[in-house]
Amino acid sequence: MLILNKTVRVFSKPSKRKIYEFLGSFTFHPGKPFLHKLVLGIETSCDDTAAAVVDETGNVLGEAIHSQTEVHLKTGGIIPPVAQQLHRENIQQIVQEALCASRVSPSELSAIATTIKPGLALSLGVGLSYSLQLVDQLKKPFIPIHHMEAHALTIRLTNNVEFPFLVLLISGGHCLLALVQGVSDFLLLGKSLDIAPGDMFDKVARRLCLRKHPECSTMSGGKAIEHLAKQGNKLHFDLKPPMQHARNCDFSFSGLQNVADKIIKQKEKEEGTETGQILSSAADIAAAVQHTTACHIARRTHRAVLFCQQRGLLPQTNAVLVASGGVASNLYIRKALEIVTSVTQCTLLCPPPRLCTDNGVMIAWNGIERLRAGLGVLHNTEGIRYEPKCPLGVDISKEVGEAAIKVPRLKMKI
């Protein structure tokens, strides 16, 4: 009976009564007028439950996050119903923590912004239904957020960056290059044709059993690869960057994953290691995979910069390339990108690591950007749905391919 009750609690939506109780727990601060617009941002598109309150000038007044990484590392990947359950268990607490830390009472909010696309259906659903109840009870405007738009605009919270700028988003679930011309005005230049680079790193790390490596046991796959690669020789294995003859800005990482898989199998045979044991050549494999990935990402990005410069889509001086997403915290890949920006007279900017990965701040900030621009601020949420798949901006990747820009070979001395 006890178990049944617990299951019901975990799988049911937060009740209206619970939300009322939660809202009632806030004290209004009459003597503290907020001069700026205030947005509560809520993110549940994948495996992080996050919330934040941000003001119009980019001050982060409060934030909270619950990461599911530990749970998913144990199961070897995200199991959507498990992610959904964890979002349901944590969303109220996380929103409450962000609001309490900000010392803003819900009635003072200008709007609530929530990720509704793209992402895991079951995860998006939790954030959306919770937000719609909150919006309904507080009688506040609702701002639906595109997760990738939020990643791309984060740099305008941390740095003084004007439109247009180029953005490279690389993480476990994303891989794209886009020109950001305005708050919701994007030109998609290229994307991964298969998996994202973080996903590839995670798969290679899992195959190398890096969870069992004493130095890497708590790291994500990509971080473990970066860590181990420092001890390895990248030239020990001759891996070729993918798509060398395709003169576009698309990416591919599943071929690299298959080649790494074959090498690991071969080495296991040679070294007589059983599946599950760490190879003596693990660091060399990690270094080679990281180097090849960095070269591939740098080359596609180089072509995107040249395309934009040729078409006059970026300013002649002080053009900015923004790199964000979990994989952009990899310092080796950042150095490869710096080689590109230095030869093309651009500046590379990356948000701080905590804002590169999924977080509530970027959603709240995207809400502020949309509020200021008067874009997509809803006073009626009828018919609003989450969208697991949703492209970003206008796709001009075919045009980029047709331009067939030849990229000069750069010495990747990293």
- Work out what residue 226 binds among Zn ion, ligand KG4, none; the CB cut-off runs from 5 to 8 Å by kind: ligand KG4
Contact 98, 360 (CB under 8 A): yes
Rg for the chain (alpha carbons), in Å? 22
Neighbouring-strand partners of residue 348: 321
Single residue of 202, 250, 284, 369 touching ligand KG4 by CB under 6 A: 202
43 binds Zn ion (CB under 5 A): no
Exposed e or buried b for every residue in 178-196, given b needs 16+ CB within 10 A? Answer: bbbeebbebbbbbbbebbb
22 in contact with ligand KG4 (CB under 6 A): no
> Interface residues for ligand KG4 in 54-113 (CB under 6 A)?
none
Decide if residue 226 touches Zn ion (CB under 5 A): no
Cβ proximity to Zn ion: between 190 and 241 the closer is 190
Q: Say if residues 161 and 320 touch (Cβ distance below 8 Å).
A: yes
Closest separation in Å from C-beta 208 to ligand KG4: 13
111's enclosing H/E stretch is: strand 111-117
> Could you tell which of Zn ion, ligand KG4, none binds residue 125, using a CB distance below 5 to 8 A set by kind?
none
Q: Which of 43, 226, 284, 369 binds ligand KG4 (CB under 6 A)?
A: 226
Q: Which is nearer to ligand KG4, 306 or 333 (CB)?
A: 333
For residues 112 and 134, the answer to whether their CB atoms sit within 8 Å is yes
Cis upstream peptide for 214 (omega within 30°): no
Name the minimum Å distance from CB 82 to ligand KG4.
16
Q: Distance between CA 62 and CA 43 in Å, rounded?
A: 14
| Min separation Cβ 352 and ligand KG4, Å | 13
Residue from 19, 38, 40, 46 that binds ligand KG4 (CB under 6 A)? 46
Binding mask 162-201 for ligand KG4 (x = CB under 6 A): ---------xxxx-----------------------xx-x
Q: Which of residues 346-365 bind Zn ion (CB under 5 A)?
A: 358
CB atoms within 10 A of CB 354: 11
149 binds ligand KG4 (CB under 6 A): no
| Residue 220 in the binding site for ligand KG4 (CB under 6 A) | yes
Alpha carbon distance 96, 304 (integer Å): 42
Q: Which amino acid is at 280?
A: S
SS3 50: strand
| Of residues 110 and 154, the one with the C-beta less far from Zn ion | 154
> In the complex, what is the shortest distance from the CB of residue 115 to Zn ion, in angstroms, rounded to a whole number?
9
Report the number of secondary-structure helices (H) and strands (E) in the chain: 15, 11
Q: Which does 222 bind (CB under 5 to 8 A by kind): Zn ion, ligand KG4, none?
A: ligand KG4
Stretch 338-377: interaction string toward ligand KG4, x if CB under 6 A: -------------------xx-------------------
8 Å CB contact between 165 and 180: yes
- Do 214 and 268 form a contact (C-beta atoms < 8 A)? no
The strand pair at 175-182 and 185-191 is best described as antiparallel
List of residues contacting ligand KG4 (CB under 6 A): 46, 171-174, 198-199, 201-202, 220-223, 226, 325-327, 329-330, 357-358
Site residues for Zn ion per CB under 5 A:
358
